[in-house]
Amino acid sequence: MVPKKIDVKSLDQNGLIQFVESLKQPAFRGRQLMSWIYKPGINDFWQMTDLAKVFREILTKRAYISSFNNPIVERSEDGCVKFGFTLEDKAVIEAVLIPETDRNTLCVSSQVGCAMNCTFCLTGTMGFTRNLSPAEIVNQVCAVRDFLLAEPEENLIGHRDVTNIVFMGMGEPLNNLDNLLVSISILTEQKGLDFTGRRITVSTCGIIPKMSKLGENANVNLAVSLHSINDETRDLLMPINKKYSIEQLLSACKTYPMAKRRRIMFEYTLLKDINDSLEEAHTLARKLKDIPCKINLLPYNESKGLPYKSPSPVRMLAFQDILRSYHYSVFIRTSRGSDISAACGQLAKHTLNHS
Ligand code: SF4
């Protein structure tokens, strides 16, 4: 039987070393392979000129290098760009580039759909199809890097490279933890895409048993989607809360293994008359008091078919003022890309229009 070909982009450096050793090759060939795949971005073994010809022949029989080609691209008036990538099984995932003058943040997906069913999120309405492989995660970054390299100067707002990665696209990253960890390893390895962990943020809705494993195995930032400090409200917004209550979640945050001076980012989407009362702001401030953290307040992005409304700017400022009075770092994140349904909670398969 002919063995199935391996996608080398789903292997981090250790995985590549094990793979080449299984082909009776020395370990350094694994490191050589990695330095061709990401920095120059070579997708053809025959162009890897310092590999022995016989090894390249073996590789073409036993492996392949995947890439995302011809993404669907939608541009927002504010400079955000939404990418739709069609996978081998024809599923479509989305990633969003959020350019600023000093950084280019890429919001990537970790799953096709999502099983978490948060009631304010369009992805949640899709249901869950499958996990993304490490290659499918990393290829979102490679494709957007190539897109930026080819952009005309006049289209660029800041850098010509992706500088920050946030796992806040489709899916719950901790429900795909093994593949997430391999992808983070590829993103942070020097011969890989060479990001520092400080520029990578993984967001979770609170899969408590997996949180410590993330902290122990990856030196990245953690964001926790909180969205309410009241169990009854959070049960309604995020069904995961029925399994892991707010108290359990905050206690997991207190013991989360984190590098010194790092802080957890709590994400709090404000929904009019649901979780934006000033009383809730005071309770939130009191409950977070023993956790090194920052707070992001996000105005809800209204989506057709979902019942929630955005809060008024006055209410958002009042909510922020209360949290600041308890000495938290609190940021109001302006919504980006909402004209192309690229804002938080708006990613879903039917949002893409071919351009
Ligand atoms: S908010 Fe995140 S975890 Fe919740 S349904 Fe949407 S993608 Fe899934």
Per-residue confidence at 343, pLDDT binned at 50, 70, 90?
low
- Which pLDDT belongs to residue 340? 67
Ligand 1: centre distance to CA 290 (Å): 26
- As a whole number, mean pLDDT of residues 197-223 equals 97
Query: pLDDT class for 185, splitting at 50, 70, 90?
Result: very high
Q: What is the mean pLDDT of residues 161-190?
A: 97
pLDDT single digits (tens) 287-323 = 999 999 999 999 998 888 889 999 999 999 999 999 9
Ligand 1 atom at shortest distance from the alpha carbon of 205: 3
pLDDT of 26 above 70: yes
Q: Which atom of ligand 1 is nearest to the CA of 117?
A: 5
Terminal Cα-to-Cα distance of the chain (whole angstroms): 43
The Cα 175–Cα 187 span in angstroms is 19
Of the residues 118, 167, 226, 269, which should be mutated to test ligand 1's pocket, given the most ligand atoms within 8 Å of the CB?
118
Interval between CA 113 and ligand 1 midpoint (Å): 9
Residue 127 pLDDT: 92
- Ligand 1 cavity residues, CB under 6 Å: 114, 116-118, 121, 123-124, 170-172, 205, 345
What Å distances lie between residue 15 and 9, 19, 74, 187, CA to CA?
10, 6, 35, 14
Give the nearest ligand 1 atom to 124 CA: 5
Residue 308 near residue 237, CB atoms below 8 Å: no
Q: Where in the sequence numbering do the catalytic residues fall?
A: 94, 344
User: Residue of the nearest CA to atom 5 in ligand 1?
Assistant: 124
Q: DSSP H helical segments within 269-325, as ranges?
A: 278-287, 313-325
User: Could you tell which of 96, 108, 121 is best to mutate to test the pocket of ligand 1, judged by most ligand atoms within 8 Å of the CB?
Assistant: 121
Check the CA dihedral 274-270-294-279 and report its sign. negative
Handedness of CA 321, 323, 326, 329 (dihedral sign): negative
Q: Which of 107, 108, 109, 114 to mutate to test the pocket of ligand 1 (most atoms within 8 A of CB)?
A: 114
Residue 328 has pLDDT above 80, yes or no: yes
- CA of 321 from ligand 1 middle (Å) equals 28
Beta-ladder partners of 112: 130
Q: State the pLDDT confidence band at 3, using cuts at 50, 70 and 90.
A: confident
Between CA 168 and CA 166 the distance in angstroms is: 6
How does residue 329 score in pLDDT terms, banded at 50, 70 and 90?
A: very high
Residue 207 pLDDT exceeds 50: yes
pLDDT of residue 342: 66
Could you tell me which residues are beta bridge partners of residue 259? none
The answer on pLDDT for 352 being more than 60 is no
- In this structure, how many other beta carbons lie within 10 angstroms of the beta carbon of residue 96? 29
CB–CB of 301/261 below 8 Å? Answer: no
Q: Identify the pLDDT of residue 349.
A: 56
Helix, strand, or coil (residue 74): strand
With pLDDT > 70 as the criterion, what percentage of the chain qualifies? 95
Q: Read off the pLDDT band of 99 (50, 70, 90).
A: very high
CA of residue 99 to ligand 1 center, whole Å: 23
CA distances from 186 to 38, 176, 214, 290 (A): 9, 16, 15, 34
Report residue 267 as tokens. 């994400």
What phi and psi values does residue 73 have, to the nearest 5 degrees? -120, 125
